Amino acid sequence: MGSLKKYLLWPSVLILLILIEFGIFGTFSSRFLNISNLLYSIGDFLYIAIAALPMTLIIASGAIDISIGAIMGLGSILTGLVWVKTGNIQLAFFAGLAGGAVSGFINGSLILMTQVNSLVITLGSSFLFSGLALTLSGLAGSTGFEGIGGFPDSFVNIANGEVLGLPNPVIILLGLIILFYFILHHTKFGRYLFLIGMSPEGARYSGIPTARVVVITYVISGIIAAFAGIMLASYFTSARSDLGADAPLTVITCTVLGGASIYGGTGSIIGTTLASLLIGYLKYGLQMIKITSHQTNVFLGIVLIVSISGRYFWEQISSRHKNKMALKHEELL
Amino acid sequence: MKQKLINLILRRPELLTVVIIVLYYLCIGIVNPQFIAMDTFVRILYNGTMLILVTAGVSAVIITKNIDASIGSLLGLAATFGGSYLNTADPSLLIFIMITVGTGLLGGLFNGIGVAYCGVPSIIMTLGTLALFRGLLALYTGGSWIDTVPEWFLNFSRIPVLGLYYPTWITLILLGVLILFFGRFRWGRYIYATGNSLDGSLLQGIPVKRTVLLAFSLSGVMTGIAALIFTSQIGTIPTQAGVGMEIKAIAAAVIGGISLMGGTGSIVGAALGAVLLETISYSLVFFRVPGYWNSFISGFLLLVIVVANSRIEIYLRNEKEREIDEKVKRRYLQLAEKTL
């Protein structure tokens, strides 16, 4: 019972926060609390929400991936480039995903090869990938930050269309959430990730193929990041090398806010999803009451710091309370 | 002999950085001999002052086994506050310096309090303040640039003294002070001890929380001083001032032999790492490489250096262990012979 309570406590706090947020924005702007509005606005932060899922896997294993923003740009540019050169949109789509997979593979194998902290490797590789994206967009003839446009309707529809009244982003997000929930919480692979996060040495000594697990996790992260970049290109109907450049900060925020410890060993897909909704609607709501994206950063930073330190103090108080109870119990004996 | 060399490099990883810098110079020099000149080095030191300063600051934080990812935004914020004071009617140099460096100090203290006293992991705290400080900057300026810096302050970094420019001199002096501080002073050694083993330091009675706070404030102050130099060297303060500086600084520190696992590395190494990064970007400018190749090439070189560095270190460590094993084996055989 005790562990169940602990398991459910944080998600319910997040749900409460989301409800409070809806209440506040609802009073400021009457247009905000509108079901179709709320559903369609998921398209705005789809890339954050789906990139946060593999990030939960990575953070649960005690590592981090800063390069997802760069991989998003690279994925979208690759898709745009192949589309311009061949005119085959399916090929272009898979080229983008393949680019993401290769990027992830590079990240994972470099981390294994050098034993250097994942933060450093992915920082360096994010330079590499975003530079590559910029260079490729130069090759495609669009100088600098200009985008590659002219995508066919079938591609644009992926992020803008709807099925049975549900916007496509909602369906994509739901599908990926279920997939990742299953991977992290109901497979051997997911258990391996948690074990590696808790103690990499211990995991290795108990015969877990840590190297393979780490590389596969980074490949998954790369593919999903590239997919998020392609979704952005579809949503904005143009591919640019700097798409998703602001993503890493927000994605890590969502994951940590969702209950994953940056030191590894914990993390939950449900928490991450709720935190992504919280942050996504925060951004959307602030936009609605006409606060610019730069100023939104102030709120984002404050929410992150206050919630994490709040959780720390909450844990301190509750453990002190438990200690006191234990002492009292001993005295009675 | 070989053993001694291995030990030396393991103890002083910055020697590897020196070797890499020299090799890089030689490689570029073979392609274009004009690159090897005193003027090049003076230029690199001049361009690199900001990076060297913030790298030294962030190194203090990394040595305590934390990280500071907020310096880019803090640099922008400090430069903006200082720059807007310079635009008032009759600015005095002293107050200007106090505002800029003070902003840096306050930002660093904020980070430090969050990490040391509120239990926020440093990467989360400083990623949060990275967004927070940039947002404050945007709120304060409303998105407009500050581009009227007085002529006398611009001249400050344009007139050379004894062959070098003022910012370079200031940086060299500060580096000297920091080297002394980290090597010879109690609180400097506390920083190493905290990073080496948190629990051990606690048991030794080292004020761990205050040490972490000190490291973050040091990083903030260095960022503030870098903001001074930014204002003087660049002359305009865009809202994007300092973007990406944190990434470069962390990369420079790591290249210079400061381990993210805390407790090891030296300020000299960090400064050398910054010089190496600056050399790379200067050489790209020197060869007139098109701008959009820039981040690709520097990212690639960065990864190559990090990989090479770590491979060499792993190799040296294995070599050392093998040597020790052999010594033990020989001793054991000797003993066995004697007793038989």
Cβ proximity of A240 and A77 under 8 Å: yes
Q: Given the structure tokens 């409800």, which residue do they identify? A: A19
Q: Which residues of B touch A64 (CB under 8 A)?
A: 123
* Probe site for chain B from A111, A127, A307 (most B CB atoms < 10 A): A127
- Contact of B245 with chain A, judged by CB distance below 8 Å, is answered with no
> What is the per-residue pLDDT for B312?
79
Contact of A249 with chain B, judged by CB distance below 8 Å, is answered with yes
Task: State the pLDDT at residue B285.
Answer: 81
Flag whether residue B306 sits within 8 Å of chain A, measured between CB atoms. Answer: yes
Residues A233-266 as b or e (16 or more Cβ within 10 Å = b):
bbbbebbbbbbbbebbbbbbbbbbbbbbbbebbb
- The pLDDT score that the predictor gives to residue B4 is 76
Task: Please state whether beta strands A162-163 and A166-167 pair in parallel, antiparallel, or not at all (unpaired).
Answer: antiparallel
Contacts of A219 (CB under 8 A, 6+ apart): A101, A104, A105, A108
Say yes or no to pLDDT of B69 above 90: no
More confident residue, B207 or A259: B207
Ordered by start, the domain boundaries in chain A are 29-144+152-290, 301-333
A261: chain B residues, CB-CB within 8 Å: 121
Q: Do A115 and B300 touch (CB under 8 A)?
A: no
Average pLDDT of B97-108?
A: 93
Q: What is the DSSP letter of B314?
A: H
Structure-block tokens of residue A242: 């700097």
Please report the DSSP string for B214-280 in residue order. Answer: HHHHHHHHHHHHHHHHHHHHH--B-TTTTTTHHHHHHHHHHHTT--TTSS---HHHHHHHHHHHHHH
pLDDT over 90 at B75, yes or no:
yes
Cα A304 to chain center, whole Å? 15
Scanning B36-95 for CB atoms below 8 A from A yields: 67
CB of A318 within 8 Å of a chain B CB? The answer is: no
Q: For B135, which of A119, A294, A308 is closest by C-beta distance?
A: A294
Question: Length of chain B, please?
Answer: 340
B321 CB-contact burial (10 Å; exposed 0-12 / middle 13-18 / buried 19+):
exposed
Nearest by CB: A124 against B134, B135, B306: B306
| C-alpha angle B157-B284-A120 in degrees, rounded to nearest 5 | 90
Q: How many CB pairs under 8 A join A and B?
A: 152
Return the closest-CA partner of residue A264 out of A187, A193, A215, A206: A193
Task: Give the ipTM.
Answer: 0.77
- Chain A contact for B141, CB < 8 A? no
How confident is residue B113, by pLDDT bands cut at 50, 70 and 90? very high
pLDDT at res. B209: 92
| B contacts of A129 (beta carbons < 8 Å) | 299
Chain A neighbors of B293, CB-CB under 8 A: 131, 135
**What is the pLDDT, as a whole number, of residue A143?**
54
- Nearest residue of B to residue A117, measured between CA atoms: B260
Which residue of chain B is at minimal alpha-carbon distance from A249?
A: B127
User: Does the beta carbon of B19 lie under 8 angstroms from any beta carbon of chain A?
Assistant: no
Domains and their CATH numbers in chain B: 45-302 (1.10.3470)
Distance from CA of A228 to the nearest CA of B (A): 22
Q: Report A:72-91 residues touching B (Cβ under 8 A).
A: none
Q: How high is the pLDDT of residue A123? A: 81
Give A61 to chain B, closest Cα distance, Å: 16
Separation of alpha carbons B21 and B256, rounded Å: 11
| A158 Cα to chain B: minimum distance (Å) | 30
Q: What is the pLDDT of residue A1?
A: 37
Closest CA to A42 of A163, A154, A152, A166: A166
From its phi and psi, is residue B119 left (phi > 0), alpha (psi between -120 and 50) or beta? left
Q: Please choose, from the candidates A229, A181, A220, the residue with its C-alpha nearest in 3D space to the C-alpha of residue A47.
A: A229
The whole-number mean pLDDT for each consecutive block of 10 residues of chain A, a chain of 333 residues, reads 56 87 83 79 88 92 90 91 85 92 93 83 86 81 65 80 82 92 91 90 89 93 94 86 81 86 86 91 83 78 82 81 83 74
**Where does A29-144+152-290 sit in CATH, by number?**
1.10.3470
A residues 195-224 closer than 8 Å to B (CB): none
Which of the four pLDDT bands, split at 50, 70 and 90, describes residue B128? Answer: confident
Phi-psi region of A187 (alpha: psi -120 to 50; beta: other; left: phi over 0): beta
Please count the other Cβ atoms lying within 10 Å of the Cβ belonging to residue A177: 18
Tell me the C-alpha distance between B266 and A212, whole Å.
35
B199 vs A300, higher pLDDT: B199
